[in-house]
Amino acid sequence: MTSGHEIREAVLRRERSAAEIADEALARIEAVDSELKAFLTLTPERARARARAVDEAVARGDDPGLLAGVPVAVKDLFCTKGVRTTCGSKILENFVPPYSATVVERLEAQGAVIVGKTNMDEFAMGSSCENSAFFPTRNPWDPSRVPGGSSGGSASAVGARCVPVAVGTDTGGSIREPASFCNVVGIKPTYGRVSRYGMIAFASSLDQAGPMTSDVRDAADVLEVIAGHDPMDSTSVDVPVPHYASSLRDDLKGVRIGIVEEFEESIAGDVAMAALYEAAYAKLRELGAKTVPVRLPHAKYGLATYYLIAPAECSSNLARYDGVRYGLRIADGGDVYAMFEKTRAAGFGDEVKRRIILGTYALSSGYYDAYYVRAQKIRTLMKGDFDGAFAQCDVIACPAVSCPAFELGAKADPVSMYLMDYFTIPMSLAGIPALSVPAGYVGALPVGLQIAAPAFEEGRILGVAHAFEQATKFARLREPLIAADRSRAESRA
């Protein structure tokens, strides 16, 4: 499968039809998904109908849109009208929304062909996709390992070359960490850049949707499509959306890149990882950038801050799942409170319950000031850290993750799982954009480089990432290791 922009050009030139591209994507999914389990729901009829509509538009000479004929996988927390949307949870196992998320509408309005809904950690809580209530998803670069999370299904689908484009969401690293694990590009935009309407909430002040793509150019195009003010989301900001593709660059002359001292100290203990990032920074300099050391003194409080704010918001956001209006209902005697309790006890998994309890506690009378209010103050300090850093540099380059993809079951202790977001959480708390771009391999496993910029400067990030990608081509250097591919290769041999 080629990239999204190549598909669009082929469709526009009528070298390929959107219909045959959609069939190819569906066939690829069928070949590999029994092993990867990236999808929760496939939408072949809807995809074929959409693809036909694109082909008809092209035949009429109409503009079929920036994503014409591009197969797209959608994380299963974006509401899709008429298509089951589970959020990876038993409590929404059979939930069919009566409306579509703004992101979904914008994708389809630009000719995207949605092929299915991808697996995820339940309610986006997790870093491995193992918290899905249905099944874990596997990493296409080593199916014994996790694809990362919570947008693991989307990352796995793109990494396995099922689709060139997926959308995920990132609250504390849920786009960047799986992008890093699956060798794809993933960008978490500025908070408020993309509408959250129709995106099932985990932590409202942090959640943000973003592209997960086979290359940087696709990330630019998809971001341009989904970004922009939405009257349905008061927190979406009315800042004009640039043509991101025009900020893509091939060299980095004159770019100042900040290297975070605290993060370098932290990664130094892992020789292979440290070497990989050192090589990445060297490549940036080779392309003409100047690297400068910067400090984020409050980054060390990121995890603690995040694990107060996100659970607090989720404890309230998830209160609506009570069995009254939609989703699972267990009413086998007792009053309405018994129904609430039984429904929620059966419908939510352990990690979701853990965070609801944490958040309920943090918001409780007598603890609110000590926890929630203080966490918000740290958040303000963290924004200040980034303001200080960006006074000295244009973008920050740093690790996206502390290790490559781990094996299923390796992080049974919740805190060890929480630590996976160590490098990504500070940007989430500050609300600034950050991206992970393939940066090479540790052994057979891919790892991503994180690039961050000030709010609404996604163009800078994409520009730097593009130069790095064009100079390295790490995503295409090797092919994923999926059994279906190996057996096909063997039979050919």
Partner 1 sequence: MINEKAVAREAGEFEAVIGLEMHVELLTRSKMFCGCRNVFGCVPNTNVCPVCLGMPGSLPVINRRAVEFLCKTGLALGCDVAPYSKFDRKNYFYPDMPKNYQISQYDTPLTRGGAIALPSGKRVRLTRIHLEEDTGKNIHGGATIAQSQYTLVDFNRAGVPLMEIVSEPEIASAKEAEAYLGELKAVLSYLGVSDVKMHEGSLRCDANVSIRPAGSDELGTKTEIKNLNSFRSVGRAIAYEIERMRDCALAGERIVQETRGWDEASGVTHPMRSKEFAHDYRYFPDPDLVPLNLDSATIERWRDELPELPAAKRERYVSALGLTPYDADLLAADRPTAEYFERVAELSNAPKEAANWLAGDVRRSLQKHRLDLSESPMKPDQLAALIALVKDGAVSGKAAKEVCAVLVAEGGDPKTVVAERGLAQTSDASSIARFVEEAIAANAESAAAYRGGKEKALEFLVGQVMRASRGKANVELARALLKERLG
Please report, as residue ranges, which positions from 41 to 100 form the binding site for partner 1 (by CB under 8 A). Answer: 77-79, 85, 87, 92, 95, 97-99
Out of 50, 188, 196, 217, point to the residue binding partner 1 (CB under 8 A): 196
Q: Which residues contact 232 (CB under 8 A, 6 or more apart)?
A: 102, 195, 197
The CB-of-362 to partner 1 minimum distance in angstroms stands at 9
Cβ-based nearer residue to partner 1, 373 or 483 = 373
Out of 69, 178, 189, 198, point to the residue binding partner 1 (CB under 8 A): 198
Return the structure tokens found at 16.
């390929």
Cβ-based nearer residue to partner 1, 39 or 202 = 202
Cβ-based nearer residue to partner 1, 365 or 491 = 365
Size of the site for partner 1 (CB under 8 A): 44
> 275-314 mask for partner 1 (x: CB under 8 A)?
-------------------------------------xx-
Out of 49, 96, 232, 275, point to the residue binding partner 1 (CB under 8 A): 232
| Sign of the four-CA dihedral 188, 189, 195, 196 | positive
Position 101 contacts partner 1 (CB under 8 A): yes
* Burial (0-12, 13-18, 19+ Cβ within 10 Å), 221: buried
Out of 108, 121, 322, 457, point to the residue binding partner 1 (CB under 8 A): 322
Position 199 contacts partner 1 (CB under 8 A): yes
Q: Please name which of 387, 398, 391 lies closest in space to residue 452, comparing C-alpha atoms.
A: 398
Please report, as residue ranges, which positions from 234 to 273 form the binding site for partner 1 (by CB under 8 A). Answer: 234-235
* Burial (0-12, 13-18, 19+ Cβ within 10 Å), 33: buried
Position 200 contacts partner 1 (CB under 8 A): yes
Out of 39, 281, 372, 474, point to the residue binding partner 1 (CB under 8 A): 372
Cβ-based nearer residue to partner 1, 282 or 338 = 338
The CB-of-104 to partner 1 minimum distance in angstroms stands at 10
3-state secondary structure of 152: helix
> 352-371 mask for partner 1 (x: CB under 8 A)?
--------x--xxx--x---
Q: Which residues are catalytic?
A: 75, 150, 174
| CA angle (224, 229, 230) in 5-degree steps | 115
Cβ-based nearer residue to partner 1, 323 or 399 = 323
Other C-beta atoms closer than 10 Å to the C-beta of 278 total: 14
Other C-beta atoms closer than 10 Å to the C-beta of 17 total: 18
Phi, psi of 399 (to 5 degrees): -65, 145
Q: In angstroms, rounded to a whole number, what is the distance separating the alpha carbons of residues 168 and 371?
A: 29
Binding site residues, partner 1, CB under 8 A: 77-79, 85, 87, 92, 95, 97-99, 101, 196-201, 203-205, 231-235, 312-313, 315-316, 319-320, 322, 324-326, 336-337, 340, 360, 363-365, 368, 372
